[in-house]
Amino acid sequence: MKQPFPADFIWGSATASYQIEGGTKEGGRGASIWDTFSQTPGKVAGGDTGDVACDHFHRFEDDIKLMKELGLQAYRFSIAWSRIQPDGTGEPNAEGIAFYNSIIDCLLAHDIEPWVTLYHWDLPQALEDRVGGWLGKAIVPIFGDYARICFEQFGDRVKNWITLNEPWCSAVLGYGLGVHAPGHADADKPYVAAHHLILSHAAAVKIYREEWGHQQGRIGITNNCDWRMPLTDSEADKAAAQRSLVFFLGWFADPIWKGDYPAVMRERLGDRLPVFSAEERELLLGSSDFFGLNHYTTMLASEPDPDAEVETNIAGNGGMAEDQEVHLSNDPAWTQTQMGWNIVPEGCRELLKWIDERYDHPEIYITENGCAVEEPDVESALQDVVRRDFFDGYLHECRNAIEQGVDLRGYFAWSLLDNFEWSWGYERRFGIVRVDYDTLERTPKLSAQWYAAAIASNGASIGGVGHPSAESREQAAESR
């Protein structure tokens, strides 16, 4: 046994509405941009949709019992906006409210703390049609109105709110690369969409603090970021790694923790990057009670060689590559997940330290971390050693970060269940619990048993599976 985590550390798991609920035509739910996108031929692997997904809509009670069996202390899920407001605006839909009330009440009855994400990518289709989704400023007060309904209906019991999940993904994958809904591929739209996402976050937080402060909850935002390790010790490569991090995370976190976009983005983008008014900057600054982080992988960053052919837009990992001029690559010593994402636990520790330093020691929650592993059958899922070792390695480095002074308060494994992995459909499995998509049967994997033991020991059992240490990886890399 190693050092336990801090006594009040929170252990949870996370999901998202469109990825698990199914029941897309039930309970008065309106269509979302992910219904439309997944029904568009060629957009999602295998033509998969979220129509049934894990059928959590009908099975949430059993799923919550399972969470209890695993000892989860917190559960992060998202609300499907179009269940609350089928057309994106107007009076709340009573059936949608009742559905989330049932989930919240059931969680509390099992002593599991609900962490609620207001927006995990499933924008009501009606808003895409009427106001152009996140591209128009009109969305800002509309999101505020939706958030207000949620605070009013659920805030007596929900004390942990996350406004947006990974606005980087909404902006870059949805408006830049076209691989997520609504499927725009454009060089400038990501910056416009991001601007309205950030302002929508601020609008929701203002409403929460001004109108619902008596509920005494907390509200914040979850951003995603990979780590960037400089390829060499050269100043140019170190600068490239920093630039890449700033374009990834600083884009969204700087307005909230520093009051404006990063200078390097302004320098490189000029007026392609929208401008916040003084009033908006004031509203943004300090508008998150905690730093929500989703972290999955690490890449090497270097100054592009002007003579080499520059790789642009490595989907999902680079962002808007042309604007950054950073060359990204993989260390061949690294192993990868089924997503092709490098497994580099020390990158997680380094990113936590970077956030701690840049944003002045915020309270951090890892609201997602996990991996996809190829699991053709239930037998392989019951032996998901790669996933178990992934969690053991990443959480071991989380503890190291805490020991080095980072204020990490909690961790949510992505994901509770195998689920609809966006443009990859059901082909990629991230769950600690196996879902058989024919029978919808749930089977906890080895990683779930491992996680249950980790929680039961408050993390003291973590670091015990004997994966290569950071040092041995470095040695392996150097000796190549």
350 near ligand PNW, rule: CB under 6 A: no
Q: How many residues bind ligand PNW (CB under 6 A)?
A: 14
170 near ligand PNW, rule: CB under 6 A: no
Q: Which of residues 423-442 bind ligand PNW (CB under 6 A)?
A: 430
CA distances for 56 relative to 63, 95, 229, 327, angstroms: 7, 16, 39, 41
421 near ligand PNW, rule: CB under 6 A: yes
Question: Token digits for 420?
Answer: 């609809």
CB 52 within 8 A of CB 20: no
State how far the Cα of 270 lies from the Cα of 7, in Å rounded to an integer: 47
Choices 42-50, 161-169, 211-219, 280-288; region in contact with ligand PNW by CB under 6 A = 161-169
Cβ neighbours for 156, distance < 8 A, ≥ 6 positions apart: 215
122 near ligand PNW, rule: CB under 6 A: no
Q: Which of residues 266-295 bind ligand PNW (CB under 6 A)?
A: 294
Selecting among 166, 303, 375, 397, the annotated active-site residue is: 166
If the CB atoms of residues 223 and 400 are measured against ligand PNW, the closer one turns out to be: 223
Selecting among 128, 303, 350, 368, the annotated active-site residue is: 368
State how far the Cα of 272 lies from the Cα of 251, in Å rounded to an integer: 13
Dihedral sign, Cα of residue 357, residue 358, residue 362, residue 368 = negative
Q: Which of residues 222-241 bind ligand PNW (CB under 6 A)?
A: 224
Residue nearest to ligand PNW (CB): 316
DSSP helix/strand/coil, 376: coil
Burial class (CB in 10 A: 0-12, 13-18, 19+), 110: middle
166 near ligand PNW, rule: CB under 6 A: yes
Q: How far is the CB of 19 from ligand PNW (least distance, A)?
A: 6
418 near ligand PNW, rule: CB under 6 A: no
The H or E element spanning position 278 is: helix 278-284
Judged by CB under 6 A, the residue of 72, 126, 142, 169 near ligand PNW is 169
323 near ligand PNW, rule: CB under 6 A: no
If the CB atoms of residues 144 and 292 are measured against ligand PNW, the closer one turns out to be: 292
302 near ligand PNW, rule: CB under 6 A: no
If the CB atoms of residues 60 and 430 are measured against ligand PNW, the closer one turns out to be: 430
Question: Does 152 participate in catalysis according to the annotation?
Answer: no
Question: Does 368 participate in catalysis according to the annotation?
Answer: yes
HEC readout, 135-199 = HCCCHHHHHHHHHHHHHHHHCCCCCEEEEEECHHHHHHHHHHCCCCCCCCCCCCHHHHHHHHHHH
Binding mask 7-36 toward ligand PNW (x if CB under 6 A, else -) reads ---------x--x-----------------
Largest CA distance in the chain: 64
Q: How far is the CB of 372 from ligand PNW (least distance, A)?
A: 7
316 near ligand PNW, rule: CB under 6 A: yes
Q: What are phi and psi of 377, to 5 degrees?
A: -145, 175
Choices 52-60, 164-172, 198-206, 328-336; region in contact with ligand PNW by CB under 6 A = 164-172
* SS percent in the chain: helix, strand, coil, step 5: 45, 15, 40
Cβ neighbours for 92, distance < 8 A, ≥ 6 positions apart: 84, 85, 149, 153
If the CB atoms of residues 384 and 421 are measured against ligand PNW, the closer one turns out to be: 421
Cβ neighbours for 397, distance < 8 A, ≥ 6 positions apart: 345, 346, 348, 349, 470
Enzyme catalytic residues: 166, 368
Chain residues that interact with ligand PNW, rule: CB under 6 A: 16, 19, 165-166, 169, 224, 294, 296, 316-317, 368, 414, 421, 430
